Amino acid sequence: MTAPFMAYDDALNLLETFEEALETGALWVGKTPAEHRSLRRNLWQALDALTVRHRPRLEAGPGLDFPYAWMRRTSLFLTSCAAEDPNPSVREQARLYLTLLPYSGQWRRLEACRMAAFGQREPSTGAPVLRANGSGSAQSFELDAEITAFFQKERQKLHRKLREKSDRIFKVRHFIQVLKKPKKDGEKGVLRLFSLPYLLTDKELLSRISRRFIFFVEPPMGVVWRHSWWRLFCGLHDPCLFGVGGPEDAAFLKTQGGAVPIPLAHGDFLEDLNPVLEDGPKHFDIVFNATFDDMERKRHGLMLDLLNRPELSKKTALFVGRGSPDNVALFQKEIEIRSLKSRVVVAANVRRADIPGLLARCRLGVHLSLYENACRAVMEYFRSNLPCVVSSSMAGMRPEIFNEETGAAVPDARLAETIAEALENIPFHAPRRWFVRESGSRVSSARLNALVKGFFLERGMPWTEDMVRLTSSGASRYASADDEARFRDEHVWVAELLQGVMPEGFQVIP
């Protein structure tokens, strides 16, 4: 999240001004194609800012649903203009708005563009802008220049992420996991993708894998439109299963086609640590577990500010997380600036196996991230019998998991008082009891198996064997080492396919 975001008021004003101009028809008067193109870029930035960076202010103002309600309303006008306006330039611009902004069906429109331009099928009625090139051949459509630029930027972003990786050798089991093996009689397997999705964005590669497997993908930060490469998983013969923890991501996916949201991901499959470590003195009132390499999204600074509020001015805190030495040093400097060295301790880059021992020394977890996807840290708190207070503006978590047993989700303005109240009432919570009953590897794996089995049977697909149990951590993420060995041949097959599309200098091994 290093790129600058549009200011909150500017973003709100832009959406409202656009809607008014669309309703009155002024949007189409006197604007050149270049001005429409610039407006679309600004609208994208406004939506991105409101749904990511400015979530807390949005919640305190018109509400978190405001951008989505705006899209629902404006899409009605744009769809009508795209289909019925007598002016062809208005129809063209309306279709471009629908295609290049995250409206309902955007991913389908982009795929229709790509396929029609390359002669794989004719553009459907109301499809995004495609221009006849006059050749009369099957490949008689070319993309509008703005859509072409969109695709080029997308590919450049994917290539840049790969180039920026320090690793040049990727192990399949570090980002892919076979949960169910395909059978010779045509019964498909299930393949879990939990990291590095940009390694699998070759269309032919995805098609080959999908002939044998149903994809279950877990976007690290959810989907929405910030990670456009997830669109490529939605053009397969069978829908892709998306593990998304929050209703916002699920609602977006339901509008795009080729995607089936599953309300389980990442932290839901946390290992069932038993017995939980609870004995011993509590050295810290609060624990804050989040990477130091993404402090703007995780909001470490807000937690430090809260510790200087009167309600929490005598409380101690432990900050746990991974991060580069430079970012850890930067955070420690922030602690000094706020005169908190006597009350704050940093535990950076500790082993994952040591986290339960650290949590056992704490009383309450706090998590303030702007955006997550079934956050592991929150479930770690519950597993260790720590109640948790979170910001209710945070996306990517199921709101119902914060309750009388587990803690509270509240607006930013109420965080300090709610954290103080929770610390006074620790004995009245039962987060570990909730975790054992509602979450963890065993419970969530069984729920996922039931959901995926239902997906197969609803579509008349054979299902004669259940999936194996999964976890949320470790190189392989199998609950049993025997399962990893049992699926090695499939991992070898996937590695060989991936190697065929890797740039020079990169290697994929099982």
DSSP 174: G
pLDDT at site 118: 60
For 92, 107, 115, 234, 460, the CA distances from 127, given in Å and listed in that order, are 10, 11, 11, 17, 31
Indicate the angle between helix axes 488-499 and 203-210, nearest 10 degrees.
Answer: 160
Domain positions in the chain are 8-156, 171-268+441-509, 284-438
For position 132, what pLDDT does the model report? 42
* Mean pLDDT, contiguous 10-residue spans, the chain (510 residues): 81 98 97 96 96 96 97 97 96 96 92 71 40 39 80 87 87 94 95 93 92 96 79 91 95 93 96 73 96 96 98 98 97 98 97 93 97 96 97 96 98 98 97 96 98 98 97 86 92 95 90
- Per-residue pLDDT at 92: 94
CATH for the stretch 284-438: 3.40.50.2000
Residue with tokens 């065993």: 442
Predicted local confidence at residue 164, as pLDDT: 86
Read off φ and ψ for residue 433, nearest 5 degrees: -60, -45
Q: Residue 35 has what pLDDT?
A: 97
Q: Can you read off the two tokens belonging to residue 229?
A: 């490469």
Q: What's the pLDDT at 130?
A: 47
Backbone φ and ψ of 182, nearest 5°: -70, 155
CA 407, 373, 209: angle at the middle one, nearest 5? 150
Quote the radius of gyration of the chain (alpha carbons, Å).
24
3-state secondary structure of 69: helix
pLDDT value of residue 278: 65
For 373-416, the three-class secondary structure string (H helix, E strand, C coil) is: CCCHHHHHHHHCCCCEEEECCCECCCHHHCCCCCEEEECHHHHH
pLDDT of residue 277: 67
